[in-house]
């Protein structure tokens, strides 16, 4: 279910929902990524403790990763990302940018970090793609080619949880200076997600798989926290 106002030229409203044929089996490596309560959206959208993950390219012209990679990123001010030195107005108010302004950091450019490791049961209450604990060293951080649709999750210390605040949408190259990754700002789509969930759940037959909002590339299920 693609957003009816999605614009391919500008990537506006780059969000979709689809229905699974069967239920997801959760494990230490597969967890639902909760949408944050409305009151937490703004603080999380200014967080420096966020992560992106995916199977994207490990360099701008490299191959797709065969294992899930993760990188630590911070949310950058829209005024900086959208300045004449950056995206020069291409970023709309329904988007976030995250990564390193100096460049060099992309989830496609995780080097020397190895594969992601699931955390132990002691932190199993922490939800989202951030439950992986890979550390990115050496390079900067951002999402890259092949990571579109991947999750941007940020940690909230008060609840000791990771919340899904964005979906990787577009960027320029891979880890380039002044061009951090651009992400769909999910707080701007809460009403749309809720309306589509209610509409679909009312029309589907009893016993069929429940509709869950998912990332376009099947990276993570969005738990209903609306």
Q: How confident is the model over 28-72, as pLDDT tens digits?
A: 888 888 899 999 999 999 999 999 888 777 666 777 778 888 888
Number of residues that this document lists for the chain: 226
First to last CA, the chain: 19
pLDDT band of residue 140 (cuts 50, 70, 90) is: very low
Q: What would the 3-class secondary structure string for the chain be?
A: CECCCCECCCCECCCECEECCCCCCCCCCCCCEECCCHHHHHHHCCCCCEEEEECCECCCCCCECCCCEEEEEEEECHHHHCCCCCCCCCCCCCEEEEECCCCCECHHHCCCCCCCCECCHHHCCCCCHHHECCCCCCCECCCCCCCCCCEEEEEECCCCEEEEEEEEEECCCCCCCCCCEEEEEHHHHHHHHHHHHHHHHHHCCCCCCCEECECCCCCCEEECCC
User: Within a domain: residue 5?
Assistant: no
Answer whether residue 4 is part of any domain: no
Residue 1 resides in a domain: no
180 contacts 100 by C-beta, under 8 angstroms:
yes
Which structural domain, as residue segments, surrounds residue 164? 25-220
Q: Is residue 2 part of a domain?
A: no
Q: Is residue 116 part of a domain?
A: yes
How far is residue 81's CA from residue 169's CA, in Å, rounded to a whole number? 14
Rounded CA-CA distance 183/86 in Å is 15
Tell me the backbone φ, ψ of residue 38, rounded to 5 degrees.
-55, -35
- Does residue 17 sit within a domain? no
Distance of CA 112 to the CA centre of its chain: 22
Are 28 and 131 in contact by the 8 Å Cβ rule? The answer is yes
Domains held by the chain: number: 1
CATH of the domain at 89: 2.40.10.10
Residue 31 — φ and ψ, nearest 5°? Answer: -140, 150
Average pLDDT for 145-160: 84
Whether the Cβ atoms of residue 75 and residue 154 lie closer than 8 Å to each other: yes
Mean of the pLDDT values across residues 112-130?
A: 32
Using CA atoms, how far apart are residues 114 and 132, in angstroms rounded to an integer? 12
Q: What is the pLDDT of residues 174-214, one digit of tens each?
A: 778 899 999 999 999 999 999 988 887 766 655 444 444 44
Whether residue 195 is contained in a domain is answered as yes
Looking at the whole model, is its pTM more than 0.75? no
Write out pLDDT tens, residues 7-37: 888 889 999 887 888 989 999 888 888 899 9
In a domain, 226, yes or no: no
């Amino acid at each position: 279910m693609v957003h009816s106002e999605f614009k391919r030229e500008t990537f506006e409203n780059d969000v979709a929902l689809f229905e699974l044929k069967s239920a997801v089996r959760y494990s230490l490596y597969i967890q639902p990524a909760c949408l944050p309560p409305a009151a937490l959206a703004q603080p999380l959208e200014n967080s420096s403790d966020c992560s992106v993950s995916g199977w994207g390219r490990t360099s701008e012209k490299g191959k797709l990763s065969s294992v899930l990679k993760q990188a630590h990123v911070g949310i950058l001010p829209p005024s900086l990302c959208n300045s004449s030195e950056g995206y020069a107005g291409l970023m709309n108010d329904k988007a976030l940018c995250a990564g390193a302004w100096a460049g060099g950091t992309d989830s496609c450019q995780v080097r020397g970090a190895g594969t992601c490791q699931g955390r132990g049961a002691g932190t199993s209450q922490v939800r989202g793609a951030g439950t992986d604990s890979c550390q990115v060293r050496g390079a900067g951080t951002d999402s890259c080619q092949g990571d579109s649709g991947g999750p941007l999750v940020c940690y909230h210390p008060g609840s000791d949880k990771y919340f899904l605040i964005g979906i990787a949408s577009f960027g320029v190259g891979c880890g380039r200076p002044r061009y951090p990754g651009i992400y769909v700002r999910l707080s701007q789509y809460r009403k749309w997600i809720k309306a589509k969930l209610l509409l679909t759940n009312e029309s589907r037959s009893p016993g069929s798989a429940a509709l869950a909002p998912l990332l376009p590339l099947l990276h993570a299920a969005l738990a209903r926290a609306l």
